[in-house]
Amino acid sequence: MVSSMSASKIFGSNATFFGDVKEVFSFKKTVIKPSMREMTITSVAARPSPVSMPVTDRVQPETKLAAWTSVQQEKWEGELVVQGEIPLWLKGTYIRNGPGLWNIGDYNFRHLFDGYATLVGLHFENGKLKARHRQLESEAYKAAKKNNKLCYREFSEAPKAENFLSYIGELATLFSGASLTDNANTGVIKLGDGRVVCLTETIKGSIEINPHTLETTGKFEYTDSYSGLIHSAHPIVTESEFLTLLPDLIKPGYIVARMEPGTNERKVIGRVDCRGGPSPGWVHSFPVTEHYIIVPEMPLRYCAQNLLRAEPTPLYKFQWHPESKAFMHVMCKVTGNIVASVEVPLFVTFHFINAYEDKDDEGRVTGIIADCCEHNANTTILDMLKLQNLRSFNGDDVLADAMVGRFTIPFDGSPIGKLEAALDPNEHGKGMDMCSINPAYLGKKYRYAYACGAKRPCNFPNTLTKIDLVNKTAKNWYDKGAVPSEPFFVARPGATEEDDGVVISMISDKNGEGYALLLDGSTFEEIARASFPYGLPYGLHGCWVPKK
């Protein structure tokens, strides 16, 4: 029998456990190498409140890359030993959301996007780093735990019907939205009024959390009368507003809406009707400028037939309609009028980076420049994200090529826009996704972007890259065998240079390990890292909550 004293020697006096210490110790022993035991948790003057740590029955082998294995505990917290120096000005909490639990009992999910949301928090203050994680308690997650089976429709999963009649009944609940998941595993945002909300593409999957403890506090209920089922997973959020796109599957198009801080009511700014295809194109994200909202219309379009299927198709909830063409629409924020609508080359993107207004020498707006992580119109990127593909890398270079795709949308009445690479894709290994910028440059002309790139051969983005859109170059960070999550830029208070700040990422390392990483935003050199006591799964998007 392992004593609590023995466990505290290994994990540090600042990590407190309730429950079966032997079970907890047994799990830790499988994932922590001797060299890591002295790098996890240190004593601090103020002892934190005890934290319970339920341990799941399914323990992945140590040889598995942590990025694609389910999180082993529902929650944990402790202080991490820092190698290097955390800037004293960095005060606040970085919260990352993402799918971290990919199994229910003995049943394993198939796709990266199916996993139940795992929140990770990194709290920086006085040069120290405290970390915690916990599962988001959505209704989908709680029902799965209670019934030991899938109960709601996820990205590629549907509950198994016992018979034909139960399948028909489940379809009826799909039309009402009742069977759609609320598993908010995609993004996390801080509203202008300070509330922190986790999101996914279903509107019901909007869940408020406590940013300090990561506890689930309840549903984020919209008080308006809009009755749609889906929205963009990435709204545009500032201190003064919340902008979102609501795809209309009945009358193909998009409703553009705004929500004021302190309210839960979305108000319609305007509407864009689709110019091609049987349904709206997928709008995972969209860009804005100071005066305009850009609505992308991708030929990768929502598909009602695929939504109804119990088994996934190669394109899941979507279909590729190249004959329907691709378009970019520009709406005035104030009037809701469409000021430009142009055809552009076919494209596939999850994430837009930024956009700004192009002006002539006299300051008149002549068009819009909009940048995104573009996958060369290759729809196979969706199927590449199946977990079996991510877990079975054999050294072949199978990652789909990607670039910083730059759209040029003219305001001269031309019906055609441009899409071209903003810089040579070889600068970042022809890989590009999961991007952030200095938020002070949102909607404005900017120079730098931070993203995940590639060092070939690989099957998933495996570098962090700083893109210089003026010099058309990239600086790349790489740790062999590791999978970095989205690089998130935090500006130094009072900074005057665009890249004066730090870049935060969480690294799922080889052999079941992982660490938090800080890079200098300007030099892109490592300034600090702190190892977790075990590897955390790959995560998606995050937000910054500054300390008041």
Other beta carbons less than 10 A from residue 227's beta carbon: 8
Give the per-residue pLDDT at 163.
66
What integer pLDDT is reported at residue 277 of this predicted model? Answer: 87
84-122 pLDDT, tens digit each: 999 999 999 999 999 999 999 888 999 999 999 999 999
How many Cα atoms sit within 13 Å of 88 on the Cβ side?
1
The predicted structure's pLDDT at residue 114: 96
Number of neighbouring beta carbons within 10 Å of residue 435: 25
Of how many residues is the chain composed? 548
Q: What is the mean pLDDT of the chain?
A: 87
234 is in an annotated binding site: yes
Q: CB–CB of 114/102 below 8 Å?
A: yes
Give the strands of the sheet with 196-199, arranged side by side.
187-190, 196-199, 206-209, 216-219
Residue 123 annotated as lining a ligand binding site: no
Paired tokens of 493: 């208070």
Using 70 as the pLDDT threshold, list the residues of the chain that sit under it: 1-64, 162-177
- The annotation status of 541 as a binding-site residue, yes or no, is yes
Q: Is 351 annotated as a binding residue?
A: yes
Q: Is the entire prediction scored with pTM above 0.85?
A: yes
Give the CA angle between residues 416, 422, 424 to the nearest 5°: 130
Beta strands in 338-462 (DSSP E): 338-344, 349-359, 365-374, 403-410, 418-421, 433-436, 448-453
Give CA–CA dist 435/433, Å, rounded.
6
Give percent of the chain above pLDDT 70: 85
Cis peptide before 296 (omega within 30 of 0): no
Q: CB under 8 Å to 196, separation ≥6 — which residues?
A: 95, 188, 189, 190, 208, 209, 210, 211, 543, 545
Q: What is the pLDDT, as a whole number, of residue 303?
A: 92
Give the pLDDT score at 24: 31
Longest dimension (CA), the chain: 78
Pairing of strands 206-209, 338-344: unpaired
Condensed to tens digits (0 to 9), the pLDDT of residues 137-166 reads 999 999 999 999 999 999 999 887 766 666
